[in-house]
Structure 1
């Protein structure tokens, strides 16, 4: 997970499906991870 920026798209290595953030989230880590991305955890703007 990047610590200085958000990742908007992620392609699954197994099925090749392209994930994008759910509405209202800034990145795929906030939508699908078990913790928010580092910028959000630090209280700064994600993107």
Structure 2
């Protein structure tokens, strides 16, 4: 059985600040406040969460080809 990678580096498209975060496995994360510029990131159109839009890894359900919250 394949396991999802839970660590992803989020990069703010506004200021370029990057930070490694642990993704939740039980819910999509729709909002993320950038520590660099304090902009609240939201998923891009068609993405279920901020990790799918701005992270180095897609969220666990997408990695495992399972239905997601979005």
What stretches of structure 1 move > 4 A for 4+ residues in a row? none
Q: What stretches of structure 2 of length at least 5 have no aligned partner?
A: 1-22
The alignment covers a number of residue pairs equal to 47
Aligned-CA RMSD value: 0.9
SS at match of 2:53: helix
Q: Which is higher, the Rg of structure 1 or of structure 2?
A: 2
Q: What stretches of structure 1 of length at least 5 have no aligned partner?
A: none
Structure richer in helix, relative to its length: 1
Return the TM-score normalized by structure 1. 0.87
